[in-house]
C-alpha cells in the first residue's frame, strides 16, 4: 500500500465527522479603525462551505476576500471588530473562547497562506514546522518523523526524508508552498482555507499546486475555501463561487453557472476581463474605473459607478442579496435582466 | 563558515594594529614624561637625559614606532619601569578580575534584559510594557558613577548589607556588577522588546496561531529565537564597551582589575602598561564580536548561508 493510500485508510474513520462539517457564515461584518472613523471592510457577508466541497472566494484586491478568511479563523489585525456568525460544528467561532478556537485551528480548520516564504519560520527546519501539531499532540519522535515524511510525501515533495531537514530558504517557491500545504494537513483538518495559494508562484508551478490542492481535497474529502483574485484559478478548482465586491457579496452559486451566465454585472465584467489564451479574437475587456474600497464605498450598490446597467435606483438603494435561480443569489436590482441578456 | 572566521580574524589583526598605533601616539602626545615621573621632582637634566636614552625615548618617533611594532609581533609588550616587570604580566594578572566582573554583569544584564524585553514585547502597549519602558529609560539615564555611589550609600553605608569596596566574597561582587549591569539591562530589554514586537508581526507568527498554538508557545517556540539576533550582536558590542568602561566602576569600588591598573599607569606615564591594556581589550573586543557573529549564524540559518557565500 502506498503512503497516500495508508493515510486515506487512516482518515476514512473521520469521514462521518466530516460529512456533518459545513461552515455557515451569516452576516459577517468586520470593522477596522481608520482615520475618520471605523470602516466596514466586510459588510453582511453570508455564504456556506458545504462538506467535501471547494468554494471559490473571488474579487479584486480590497474586496475583502482575505479579510473573510482571516475573520473565519479569528486571525484579524489588531483593532478589528467582528459581528455576525461563523458556525462550525454547532459552535459560533466568533464568540467561542480562546481554548475552543485553538482546538479548531490547525486541527479542524487549517490555513494555506499566500506567500509561503513569509508563512514559514526561517529559523526552523521544514520537518519541525510540519511536525509541530503532531509533536504538541504528544506523539513520540519516531511517530512525528513518520507523520512528517508521510505529509511531505502526500504534498508531493520528493525525497521527504532528506527534505524535512532543509530550511525554508533552501526550497524553491513551489516546494515551499507544498510544505505549507503539508503543514496545513498535519492536524487532519476537515476544512482548508487557502488564501491566494498560488499568487506568489510562477505560472507553471501554479498549475501544479492547484492540482495538488484539488487532489488532496478530493482524496481526503475536505472542504476548501479557495480565496483568489484569479478567475481561472477558481474556475479550475471550485464547485461553488462567492464573488465579492467592496466588502460585500455580489453574487454566489454553482461555479460553472455563475461564470457562464453571471447574475451580477460585476461578475460579468470580471469574466470579460480575463484574457482568453487560445483565441486571438480580442484583448480582454478590462473593467472600467478603479475598484471601490470599503473606506470609500459608493452609495446604493457599490458597483454602480462602474456598472453599464446602472440606473437611479442603483445610486440610492443598497441591493439585498436574493435568490435569483436554483442555488444562486445575486445582489443586483436587475439580476434577472443580467441573467436574461 | 571557516572563510568567515578567517576573514574576521584578518580584519581583527588590522583593528589591533590600528589600536596599537593610536595608543602609541596618544600616550606620547599626552603631556608629561615617564622619566621625570620615575626620577621625581629633584632630578636634574642630565639624569633625565640618561633615563630617556635607556628607555629609548630619545630616538625619533618613527624609530620607536617600528621597534614597538616589531616587539609586539614577537609578543614582547615591553617593560613597565614603574613596576619593574614585563608590562603584559601585570596586565594579565589583573585581567581575570575585570573579566569576572564583566561576565557577571553581562549574565545579569542578558537574563534580566531578555526577561523584561519578552514580557514587554509580548503585549506592546500593555501595562507591563509601559512599566518596563519607564524603568529602562530611568536605568539608562542614570550615569554609572552616580549609581555606584548611590549603591554604596544605600546598601553599604546605610543598610550595611553589602561591602562598599574590595574583593573576597561573592557579596563584594554584587554592587560593582549591578552598577555595570543596570544600564546594560536597559539596553538589552529595549532591544529585545522591539525585536520581539517586530517578530510577533511576522506572517509566520500568524501561521503559528493558525496551528492552534497558545501565545506563550508562539513567543517561546517561534518568536524568541528569531528576535535574538540583534540582541546577540548588541551584547557582543556592549561587552567590549563594558571592558573599556570598567575603569570607572572599578575605581569607585576599588576593584583590582584592569581599570584601576590603567588609571594608575596613565597617571604615571607608564607607556608599556597603557599600551598592553589597550591591546588586550582590543583583542578581547575582536574575539567577542566574532563570537557574537558566530552565535547569530547559529541562530539564523540564512546568516549561515550568507557567510558561506
Interchain proximity A119–B212, CB inside 8 Å: no
**What is the number of other CB atoms lying within 10 angstroms of the CB of residue B40?**
8
Q: Say if residue A8's pLDDT is above 80.
A: no
Distance from CA of A169 to the nearest CA of B (A): 7
Number of residues written out for chain B: 309
Q: Where are the domains of chain B?
A: 88-308
Cβ pair A124:B222 closer than 8 A: yes
Residue A72 CA, chain-centre distance (Å), reads 10
Q: Which residues contact B70 (CB under 8 A, 6 or more apart)?
A: none
Interface with B, mutate which of A111, A123, A127, A134 (most B CBs under 10 A): A123
Mean pLDDT of chain A: 88
| pLDDT band, residue B309 (cuts 50/70/90) | low
pLDDT band at A283 (very low <50, low <70, confident <90, very high): low
- Chain segment A38-59, per-residue pLDDT in tens: 999 999 999 999 999 999 999 8
| Helix axes of B144-151 and B224-252: crossing angle, nearest 10 degrees | 70
Under 8 Å between Cβ of A107 and A191: no
Quote the minimal CA–CA distance from B203 to chain A in Å.
5
Mutating which of B124, B204, B217, B219 best tests the A interface, going by the most A Cβ atoms within 10 A?
A: B204
> What is the rounded distance in angstroms from the CA atom of residue A194 to the CA atom of residue A196?
6
Determine the pLDDT at residue A6: 45
Nearest-Cα distance to chain A for B111, in Å, is 22
Instruction: Give the model's confidence band at A278: pLDDT under 50 very low, under 70 low, under 90 confident, else very high.
Output: low
Q: How far apart are CA B230 and CA A49, in angstroms?
A: 45
* pLDDT at A21 exceeding the cut of 60: no
DSSP state of B156: I
- pLDDT level of residue A156 (50, 70, 90 thresholds): very high
Task: Enter the DSSP assignment of B45.
Answer: H
Residue A304 binned pLDDT confidence (cut-offs 50, 70, 90): very high
Separation of CA B78 from chain center: 24
Given this model, what pLDDT does residue A279 score? Answer: 55
Candidate CATH numbers 1.10.3720.10, 3.40.50.2300, 1.10.4080.10, 3.10.270.10; the one for domain B88-308: 1.10.3720.10
Render pLDDT for B27-62 as a digit per residue (tens, 0 to 9).
888 888 888 888 887 888 888 888 888 888 888 999
Give pTM, 2 decimals. 0.82
Lowest-pLDDT range of A283-287, B83-87, B120-124: A283-287
Query: Which residues on A lie below 8 Å from B301 (Cβ)?
Result: 122-123, 167, 169
Question: Is A119 in contact with B206 (Cβ distance < 8 A)?
Answer: yes
- Closest Cβ–Cβ partner in A103, A122, A187 for B302: A122
ipTM for the predicted complex comes to 0.85
- Residue pair A133/A127 in contact (Cβ under 8 Å)? The answer is no
Amino acid at each position: 500500500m502506498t503512503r497516500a493510500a495508508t493515510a486515506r485508510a487512516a482518515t476514512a474513520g473521520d469521514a462521518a465527522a466530516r460529512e456533518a462539517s459545513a461552515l455557515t457564515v451569516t452576516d459577517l461584518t468586520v470593522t477596522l479603525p481608520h482615520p475618520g472613523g471605523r470602516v466596514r471592510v466586510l459588510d453582511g457577508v453570508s455564504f456556506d462551505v458545504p462538506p467535501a466541497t471547494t468554494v471559490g472566494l473571488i474579487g479584486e484586491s480590497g474586496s475583502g476576500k482575505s479579510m473573510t478568511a482571516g475573520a473565519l479563523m479569528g486571525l484579524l489585525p489588531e483593532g478589528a471588530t467582528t459581528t455576525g456568525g461563523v458556525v462550525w460544528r454547532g459552535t459560533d467561532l466568533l464568540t467561542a473562547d480562546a481554548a475552543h478556537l485553538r482546538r479548531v485551528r490547525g486541527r479542524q480548520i487549517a490555513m494555506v497562506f499566500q506567500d509561503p516564504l513569509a508563512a514559514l519560520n526561517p529559523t526552523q527546519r521544514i520537518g519541525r514546522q510540519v511536525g509541530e501539531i503532531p509533536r504538541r499532540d504528544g506523539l513520540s519522535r519516531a511517530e512525528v518523523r513518520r507523520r512528517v515524511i508521510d505529509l511531505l510525501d502526500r504534498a508531493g515533495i520528493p525525497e521527504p526524508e532528506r527534505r524535512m531537514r532543509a530550511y525554508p530558504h533552501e526550497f524553491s517557491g513551489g516546494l515551499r508552498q507544498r510544505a505549507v500545504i503539508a503543514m496545513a494537513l498535519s492536524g487532519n483538518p476537515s476544512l482548508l482555507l487557502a488564501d491566494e495559494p498560488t499568487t506568489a508562484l510562477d505560472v507553471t508551478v501554479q498549475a501544479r499546486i492547484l492540482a495538488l490542492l484539488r487532489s488532496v481535497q478530493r482524496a481526503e474529502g475536505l472542504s476548501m475555501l479557495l480565496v483568489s483574485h484569479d478567475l481561472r484559478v477558481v474556475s479550475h478548482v471550485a464547485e461553488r463561487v462567492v464573488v465579492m465586491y467592496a466588502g460585500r457579496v455580489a453574487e454566489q452559486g454553482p461555479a460553472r453557472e455563475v461564470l457562464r451566465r453571471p447574475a451580477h454585472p460585476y461578475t460579468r465584467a470580471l469574466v470579460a476581463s480575463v484574457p482568453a489564451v487560445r483565441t486571438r479574437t480580442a484583448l480582454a475587456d478590462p473593467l472600467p474605473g478603479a475598484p471601490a474600497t470599503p473606506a470609500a464605498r459608493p452609495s446604493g450598490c457599490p458597483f454602480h459607478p462602474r456598472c453599464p446597467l446602472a440606473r437611479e435606483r442603483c445610486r440610492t438603494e443598497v441591493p439585498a442579496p436574493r435568490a435569483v435561480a436554483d442555488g444562486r443569489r445575486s445582489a443586483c436590482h436587475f439580476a434577472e435582466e443580467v441573467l436574461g441578456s | 563558515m571557516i572563510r568567515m572566521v578567517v576573514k574576521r580574524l584578518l580584519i581583527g589583526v588590522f583593528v589591533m594594529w590600528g589600536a596599537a598605533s593610536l595608543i602609541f601616539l596618544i600616550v606620547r602626545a599626552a603631556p608629561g614624561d615617564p622619566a621625570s615621573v620615575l626620577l621625581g621632582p629633584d632630578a636634574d637634566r642630565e639624569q633625565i637625559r640618561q633615563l630617556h636614552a635607556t628607555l629609548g625615548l630619545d630616538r625619533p618617533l618613527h624609530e620607536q614606532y617600528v621597534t614597538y611594532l616589531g616587539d609586539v609581533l614577537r609578543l614582547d609588550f615591553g617593560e613597565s619601569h614603574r613596576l619593574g616587570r614585563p608590562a603584559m604580566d601585570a596586565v594579565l594578572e589583573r585581567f581575570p578580575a575585570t573579566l569576572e566582573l564583566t561576565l557577571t554583569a553581562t549574565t545579569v544584564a542578558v537574563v534580566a534584559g531578555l526577561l523584561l524585553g519578552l514580557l514587554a514585547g509580548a503585549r506592546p502597549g500593555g501595562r507591563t510594557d509601559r512599566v518596563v519602558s519607564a524603568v529602562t529609560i530611568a536605568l539608562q539615564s542614570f550615569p554609572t558613577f552616580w549609581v555606584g555611589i548611590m549603591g554604596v550609600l544605600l546598601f553599604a553605608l546605610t543598610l550595611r548589607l553589602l561591602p562598599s569596596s574590595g574583593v573576597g566574597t561573592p557579596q563584594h561582587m554584587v554592587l560593582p556588577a549591578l552598577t555595570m549591569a543596570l544600564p546594560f539591562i536597559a539596553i538589552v530589554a529595549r532591544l529585545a522588546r522591539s525585536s520581539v514586537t517586530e517578530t510577533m508581526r511576522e506572517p509566520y507568527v500568524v501561521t503559528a496561531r493558525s496551528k492552534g498554538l497558545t501565545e506563550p508557545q508562539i513567543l517561546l517556540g517561534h518568536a524568541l529565537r528569531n528576535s535574538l539576533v540583534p540582541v546577540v550582536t548588541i551584547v557582543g558590542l556592549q561587552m567590549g564597551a563594558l571592558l573599556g568602561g570598567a575603569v570607572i566602576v572599578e575605581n569607585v569600588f576599588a576593584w583590582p582589575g584592569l581599570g584601576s591598573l590603567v588609571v594608575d599607569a596613565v597617571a604615571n606615564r607608564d607607556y608599556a602598561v597603557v599600551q598592553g591594556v589597550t591591546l588586550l581589550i582590543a583583542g578581547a573586543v575582536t574575539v567577542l564580536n566574532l563570537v557574537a557573529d558566530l552565535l547569530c549564524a547559529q541562530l539564523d540559518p540564512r546568516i549561515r548561508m550568507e557567510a558561506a557565500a
